Amino acid sequence: EFQPRVFVGGAYLGGEDNRELGFVDWLGAMFCPFWSADSSRSFNRLFSNWRYSYFLDSGVQGGAAGLGPLGSAAGDLTNVWLARAGFSAMPTEQVRVEVSGTYFEALEAFSRPWPTFWVLGTRISPLAGLSFLSEENDKNLGWELDANVTYLYSEDLSFELGYAHFFVDKGLEWGNFNNMNGLANNGGQDKKDPNYVYFETKICF
């Protein structure tokens, strides 16, 4: 039986970014020993093993997707909202096919030092010390397209081949604080869209 299924979903992982300083705040930080900055509070997913993206939500510290091109520990994506839609079907009793697309957008955009330039893949901010001079980054992180085929060898053993592509938007070109529970910037170094191919085997005991 073909068993077609259409699904939609979304998530809202609250976050904020209070790193932006006005001129008065900058003066306070420079000359007042009692001045303190507002903290940034982003939603902590507390060791979540749910992966929303092969690129933004998994990386060098583990996760089902292995090494993510943009890096981070699995389950630490936050300060973001996302919307997902897809389609799955079973052409045969043992083969399942699934295709989905997900849109990602930061809730609070990072205010980077102004001006900032890219020079040979490196960010240069000549006036970074004047932190009240800032420019807000774009919130649009991009789109991810995922496709996979799963072969159900038995009730306990399956094999899966998958592919993912991320369409990078301006929010990732310059970066926002979405990783490590909102403490790490996920900015890339260029506009290139990453690809990810994987093969995995799953066995249940």
Give percent of the chain above pLDDT 70: 84
- For 161-204, write each residue's pLDDT tens digit: 999 999 999 888 888 888 888 888 887 656 788 899 999 999 98
- Amino acid, single-letter form, for residue 32: C
- For 80-109, write each residue's pLDDT tens digit: 999 999 999 999 989 999 999 999 999 988
- For 11-36, write each residue's pLDDT tens digit: 999 887 666 667 777 677 777 777 76
Q: How far is CA 86 from CA 43, 83, 127, 135, 200, in A?
A: 26, 11, 45, 36, 21
- Given pLDDT bands bounded at 50, 70 and 90, which one contains residue 147? very high
| pTM (predicted TM-score) | 0.79
